[in-house]
Amino acid sequence: MDETTLTEALEQAFLRYKDKRAILFGNDRFTYKDLDRISAWVAHDLSDRGLGRGDRVAVRLEKGMAIVFVYLACLRLGVVMLPLNPLYTLDEVRYFLSDSQASLLIADPATRRETDPLRDEMPHLEQILYVDPSGGPWMGREPESPFDLPLPVGPRDGAIMLYTSGTTGPPKGCIMSQESTVINLKTLHRAWGITGDDRLMHVLPLNHGHGLYVAFTGCLLAGCLMVMKERFDPQAVLQDMANHRLTLFMGVPTHYHRFIQIHGKNSFDLSSMRLFISGSAPLPEGLFTRFHERYGHRVLERYGMTEIGIHLSNPLKGERLPGKVGFPLPGTSARVVDLEKGTPLPPGRQGELEVKGPNVFSGYWKKPRETQESFTPDGWFKTGDMAEVDDQARFSIVGRVKDLIISGGLNISPFEVEQVINTHPGVSESAVIGVPDKYFGERVVAYMVLEDPKDPPSLEAIQDICKERLASYKKPKEIYFLETLPRNSMGKVEKTLLRQQYMAKII
């Protein structure tokens, strides 16, 4: 019988694969039984702290086993975990805690000095628990009594909470349901042929949907072995693929670019590898081709986003074309519609990608208006991405309706960066765009209108003001000054014109 909740599916995985090796992380080794035992202990700890079904727990830790234990424990309790990027500044953390109304924050002891005051600022934040990212106080501990779910977790209950990067406002919370995660992940198992015989090289962060949901949770449900890396070193990763006879790799385009930058003749035995997957940002066609020429593998590109999980994928068996993200997964639908009329477009025409399926989320956290605006009256979710479908029903992503910037697989909200730049006393207004970058996919560029054109701020000054309130990868890498920002008749800044202006400048 198929499990209808992620919690139930993981419980079954713990039982089914209990004596099998689950994770290799540095010098640590964990079986599925170990994960079961330690996550039960953590669940007891969180339950004793008053956490229960539906509560939110924010986790701000570097990649390590502590995140794994907390995540699995939260699922056992019906608690929703909100993973936060450790690169976030205190202002960013403050926003996520306030918006999610998290009652517990789990953080690195090294951040105690800046984090402690948050408890006094936010009445809903009842506790802050400081835990070493490597595993904290739970490593090797046994629960004092058998662990039982205090309340049954339902299919529509939350499993994971992630925040999207808003382009016209602050980031929006998205809670993925217990049922939708199981349906989507088991569909991926069938589409990609993932079984307990697979062994995954895990290099992605655990505070992002790609790394926590698609890679980690998906492989755990299938009974895979995961070799986890805290940092990405391309040469060490390829060597471990050979040494451990790994079969799967999930990464972002930046990883593949780093792979082909390795100098010298290819000396890595990748004969055990059966599948390289790329997502989180479009994979350049040239990179697809160069990786294939260098390592003999054709990357499987797929398409997804926080609100829908994975929705489109190139085939496991069959032709994978560069620049294409493939077909809708079984049980899902996708279409390209006219931007103004909202009517479906024929093959070869570009428009907005809309999707439907059991994997699609139900709505943004405490944002009914934004939720309503994101769906059509007949239930299609508007992705905000520009797409095109060919006469064989293959989809390709050709741009974005929204102006989200994706750098190294990480989402950046232009609105968020603009808000910070605009606090500089010499800046009247700003517009932030993403431009092509051969290493990271895109980089941040800012256009500004100045209060006094004779006294322009330096790039370093703008970066410094951003550094105070934003993660480092969100800082603009280039700045330009304009007398006015281009706007349409409705007063909206036309960022397409800015991108065209930038591209014309560098040609």
Cα–Cα dist 337/350, whole Å: 8
- Where are the alpha helices (H) located in 347-478, listed in sequence order? 368-373, 414-421, 459-469
Buried b / exposed e along 301-314 (16+ C-beta atoms within 10 A): bbbbbbbbbbbbbb
pLDDT at residue 1 above 50? no
* pLDDT of res. 398: 78
Confidence category of residue 175, pLDDT binned at 50, 70, 90: very high
Render pLDDT for 293-325 as a digit per residue (tens, 0 to 9).
Answer: 999 999 999 999 999 999 999 999 999 999 899
Render pLDDT for 457-469 as a digit per residue (tens, 0 to 9).
Answer: 999 999 999 998 9
Confidence category of residue 406, pLDDT binned at 50, 70, 90: confident
Render pLDDT for 184-226 as a digit per residue (tens, 0 to 9).
Answer: 999 999 999 999 999 999 999 999 899 999 999 999 999 999 9
Q: What are the angstrom distances between the C-alpha of 313 and each of 35, 278, 393?
A: 31, 10, 12
pLDDT at residue 176 above 60? yes
Q: How many residues would you count in the chain? A: 507
Apex 165 CA angle, 122 and 308, nearest 5 = 110
Query: CB atoms < 10 A from the CB of 436, how many?
Result: 13
pLDDT at residue 490 above 50? no
DSSP state of 473: G
The predicted model gives 7-26 an average pLDDT of 94
Apex 220 CA angle, 218 and 224, nearest 5 = 100
The predicted model gives 115-130 an average pLDDT of 95
pLDDT at residue 496 above 90? no
Confidence category of residue 141, pLDDT binned at 50, 70, 90: low
Structure token pair of residue 288: 């697809």
Cα–Cα dist 174/206, whole Å: 16
What are the residues whose beta carbons fall under 8 Å from the beta carbon of 339, sequence distance 6 or more? 351, 352, 401
* pLDDT of res. 267: 82
DSSP state of 216: I
Indicate the class that CATH gives domain 405-506.
alpha beta
Render pLDDT for 58-72 as a digit per residue (tens, 0 to 9).
Answer: 999 999 999 999 999
* pLDDT of res. 255: 92
> Beta partners for 250?
277
Full DSSP string of 134-202: TTGGGTT---SS----SSPPPTTSEEEEEEE--SSSS-EEEEEEHHHHHHHHHHHHHHHT--TT-EEEE
- Where are the alpha helices (H) located in 223-309, listed in sequence order? 234-243, 253-261, 285-295
**Any idea where the domains of the chain sit in the sequence?**
1-198, 405-506
Rounded to the nearest integer, the mean pLDDT of the chain is: 91
Structure token pair of residue 379: 């239930």
CB 300 within 8 A of CB 193: no
Render pLDDT for 422-475 as a digit per residue (tens, 0 to 9).
Answer: 999 999 889 999 999 988 999 999 999 998 999 999 999 999 999 989 999 999
Render pLDDT for 358-380 as a digit per residue (tens, 0 to 9).
Answer: 999 989 999 999 999 999 999 99
Cα–Cα dist 221/162, whole Å: 20
pLDDT at residue 488 above 70? no
Rg (CA), the chain: 23
pLDDT at residue 3 above 80? no
Structure token pair of residue 343: 């009517």
The predicted model gives 384-391 an average pLDDT of 91
Query: CB atoms < 10 A from the CB of 358, how many?
Result: 14
Amino acid, res. 253: P
Confidence category of residue 51, pLDDT binned at 50, 70, 90: very high
Specify the CATH architecture of the domain 1-198.
3-Layer(aba) Sandwich (3.40)
| Pairwise pLDDT comparison (39 vs 168), residue with the higher score | 39
Query: CB atoms < 10 A from the CB of 124, how many?
Result: 11
HEC sequence for 410-443: EEECHHHHHHHHCCCCCEEEEEEEEEEECCCEEE
* pLDDT of res. 489: 47
Would the pTM count as exceeding 0.75? yes
Cα–Cα dist 277/408, whole Å: 15
Longest Cα–Cα distance of the chain, Å, equals: 71
The predicted model gives 240-248 an average pLDDT of 97
pLDDT at residue 401 above 90? no
The predicted model gives 278-285 an average pLDDT of 85
- pLDDT over 70, % of the chain: 94
Four-residue CA torsion sign, 264, 270, 271, 276: negative
* pLDDT of res. 366: 95
